[in-house]
């Protein structure tokens, strides 16, 4: 579901206008508050949600991880270096809080070098799986990706 | 010049009673416009419904005393110092405009009701001029540089829209007021007086369509935001907590594992520079 703005929280600062990669967050000409001018084109990247200093932008999560009518909200606090999520069901019975360090990777260093990868075999072409699917989602071996397994460590500052 | 009451000379042509009636009419128009605005946008209904919804998901009860404390802190912080603005430049411009406007309005009312025929009316003429100048300075700063249409949307400063009625009304009123005061007695003075009268009438009579009413509902919104924080409902936003808290670290082991038991300050992040890359 695309982004929407709580008008009482928005102060029309323009951070979302600046950060939106689709250039669809703009300022309303009647109230001077932000709004999504083209919801169909929003791919829910959450850039504006996380950049908004007043937490005035919200997005409904997908129904495959939370039933309809739920709320999924996020606060990305870069000064603390953490990101917090809260998923709450419509009736309030499920109220899930999550907190994790921000693990933004250095620019340009985590791009898969597909040029060096071998071409898919005929078996792989005939398979319903996408190219490198089991490997890249790491379901075949080695467990989940972690900073340690990738040879990385937390850096002071999430901006590389 | 700035120590002369601009309304005293005007009183020779327009009876003070007429000026006083004008002030009362404008006051009633602001009240009426705000009520109509509240009904039209259903803002009061929204606030009450939102408050009830927040109360349902509250984790703690906020006592009457705490609510009073939050109301006082809202007035002291959000209202008097415009602390809601995350951008310090916007905050300063807003403070200049707000205090300039209040000084200008209060001085106008005092001069028209208490000293309509006195050229020297104590400190009030000076306050009238300084208020108008402060309002114009903060307002033009906002208009040319800070206004989001210019700073983020990349629009030119002269492109007008409905949201500009309020700021244009403020700028025109303060500018033409000062120009009228400076050119009083000449033909040009009457031209500026007519424009001053027109712009102030537009400013106070267009509350329904302009952003004038924000000064009434913004403090209520700020107070409601504080209440939701105090009662734990937080409009469904997550609670970051204190990262050094052992209970938090036990619940989220990634924090001590990757950041240590005493997580460092991680830098400004996105706040390191102002957004201006439209």
* Chain B residue with Cα closest to A152: B258
A43 a catalytic residue: yes
Q: In which order are the strands placed within the sheet that holds A95-101?
A: A71-77, A82-88, A95-101
Shared-domain flag, residues A148 and A112 = yes
Long-range CB pairs of A57-65, under 8 A, 24+ apart, other chains included = A57/A3, A57/A4, A57/A5, A57/A6, A57/A10, A57/A16, A57/A25, A58/A3, A58/A4, A58/A5, A58/A6, A59/A1, A59/A2, A59/A3, A59/A4, A60/A1, A61/A1, A61/A87, A62/A1
- Say what the pLDDT of residue A133 is: 73
pLDDT at B53: 82
Name the β-bridge partners of A71: A88
- To the nearest whole Å, the CA of B199 is away from the closest chain A CA by 19
- Mutation pick from B258, B262, B272, B276 vs chain A, by most beta carbons of A within 10 Å, is B258
DSSP state of B164: G
* B208-218: average pLDDT: 88
CB under 8 A, 24+ apart: contacts of B143-152:
B143/B167, B143/B171, B146/B87, B146/B89, B146/B90, B146/B93, B148/A12, B148/A13, B148/A14, B148/A17, B148/A27, B148/A32, B149/A27, B149/A32, B151/A14, B151/B276, B152/A14, B152/A15, B152/A17, B152/A18, B152/A27, B152/B275, B152/B276, B152/B278
Q: Which residue of B has its CA nearest to A9?
A: B221
User: A101, A122, A145: which is the final residue of a domain?
Assistant: A101
pLDDT in tens, B60-115: 888 999 999 999 999 999 999 999 898 899 999 999 999 999 999 999 999 999 99
Residues from chain B contacting residue A73 (CB–CB below 8 Å): 235-238
Q: Please state the domain count of chain A.
A: 2
Distance spanning both ends of chain A, measured CA to CA: 30
Residue B52 pLDDT level (bands cut at 50, 70, 90): confident
Q: Which chain A residues are closer than 8 Å to B149 by Cβ?
A: 27, 32
| Predicted model pTM | 0.83
Residue A104 has pLDDT above 70, yes or no: yes
Does A83 share its domain with A153? no
CA A26 to chain centroid: 20
Supply the pLDDT for residue A141: 63
Place of tokens 């950049």: A51
pLDDT at position B110 is 96
B132-173 tens-digit pLDDT: 999 999 999 999 999 988 888 889 999 999 999 999 999 999
Please give the Cα distance from A81 to A104 (Å, whole number). 10
A96 plus A133 within the same structural domain = no
Does residue A97 share a domain with residue A25?
A: yes
Boundary (domain end) residue, out of A101, A124, A148: A101
Is A55 found in the same domain as A29?
yes
Chain A residue nearest residue B252, CA to CA: A99
- Pairwise CA distance, residues B171 & B220, whole Å: 26
Residues A28, A97 share a domain:
yes
Same domain, A31 and A92: yes
Nearest CA in chain A to B85: A11
The predicted structure's pLDDT at residue B191: 96
* Candidates B268, B271, B275; nearest CB to A18: B275
Residue A123 and residue A94 share a domain: no
Q: What is the pLDDT of residue A134?
A: 67
The CATH number covering residue A39 comes to: 3.30.70.20
Q: How many CB pairs under 8 A join A and B?
A: 147
Residues A76 and A25 reside in one and the same domain: yes
Residues A115 and A60 in one domain: no
Q: Are residues A30 and A86 in the same domain?
A: yes
| For helices B214-230 and B43-56, angle between their N-to-C axes, nearest 10 degrees | 0
Chain A residues close to B238, C-beta within 8 Å: 73-75, 84-86, 97-99
Per the structure, the complete domain to which residue A17 belongs is given by 3-101
B232 and B60 in contact (C-beta within 8 Å)?
Answer: yes
Judge if A138 and A117 occupy the same domain: yes
Answer whether A157 sits within 8 Å of B269, measured CB to CB: yes
Quickly state the pLDDT bin for A157 (edges 50, 70, 90): low
Q: Percent of chain B at pLDDT above 70?
A: 99
CB-based contact B237 A29, cutoff 8 Å: no
The 10s digit of each residue's pLDDT in A37-87 is 999 999 999 999 999 999 999 998 887 777 888 899 999 998 999 999 999
Q: Which of A81, A101, A121 is the last residue of a domain?
A: A101
The interface predicted TM-score of the complex, written ipTM, equals 0.84
> What is the CB neighbour count within 10 angstroms for residue A69?
11
Residues of B in contact with A29 (CB under 8 A): 161-163
């Amino acid at each position: 579901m695309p982004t929407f703005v709580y008008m009482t929280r928005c102060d029309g600062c323009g951070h979302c206008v600046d950060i939106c990669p689709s250039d669809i967050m703009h300022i309303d000409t009647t109230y001077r508050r932000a709004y999504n001018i083209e919801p169909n084109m929003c791919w829910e990247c959450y850039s504006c949600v996380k950049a908004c200093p007043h937490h005035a932008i919200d997005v409904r999560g997908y129904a495959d991880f939370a039933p309809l009518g739920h709320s999924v909200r996020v606060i990305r606090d870069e000064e603390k270096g953490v990101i917090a999520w809260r998923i709450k069901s419509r009736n309030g019975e499920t109220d899930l809080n999550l907190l994790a360090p921000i693990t933004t990777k250095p620019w340009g260093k985590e791009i898969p070098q597909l040029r060096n990868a071998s071409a898919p075999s005929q078996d792989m072409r005939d398979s319903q799986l996408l190219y490198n699917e089991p490997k890249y989602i790491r379901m075949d071996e080695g467990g989940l990706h972690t900073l340690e397994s990738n040879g990385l460590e937390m850096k002071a500052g999430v901006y590389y | 010049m700035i120590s002369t009451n601009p309304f005293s000379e005007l009183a020779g042509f327009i009876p003070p009673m007429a000026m006083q009636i004008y002030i009362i009419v404008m006051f009633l128009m602001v009240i009426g416009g705000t009520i109509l605005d509240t009904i039209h946008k259903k803002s009061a209904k929204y606030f009450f419904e939102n408050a009830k919804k927040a109360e349902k998901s509250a984790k703690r009860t906020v006592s009457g005393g705490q609510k009073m404390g939050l109301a006082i802190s809202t007035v002291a912080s959000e209202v008097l110092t415009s602390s809601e603005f995350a951008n310090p430049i916007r905050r300063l411009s807003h403070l200049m405009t707000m205090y300039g406007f209040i000084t200008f309005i209060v001085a106008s009312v005092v001069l028209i009701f208490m000293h309509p025929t006195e050229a020297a009316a104590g400190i009030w003429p000076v306050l009238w001029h300084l208020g108008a100048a402060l309002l114009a300075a903060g307002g033009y700063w906002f208009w040319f540089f800070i206004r989001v249409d210019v700073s983020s949307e990349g629009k030119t400063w002269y492109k007008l829209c409905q949201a500009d009625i309020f700021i244009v009304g403020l700028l025109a009123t303060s500018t033409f007021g000062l120009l009228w005061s400076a050119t009083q007695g000449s033909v040009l003075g009457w031209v500026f007086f007519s424009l001053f009268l027109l712009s102030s009438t537009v400013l106070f009579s267009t509350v329904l369509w302009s952003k004038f009413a924000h000064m009434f509902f913004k403090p209520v919104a700020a107070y409601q935001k504080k209440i939701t924080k105090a009662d734990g409902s937080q409009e469904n936003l997550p609670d970051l907590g204190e990262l050094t808290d052992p209970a938090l670290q036990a619940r989220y082991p990634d924090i001590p594992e990757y950041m240590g038991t005493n997580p460092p300050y991680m830098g400004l992040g996105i706040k390191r520079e102002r957004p201006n890359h439209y």
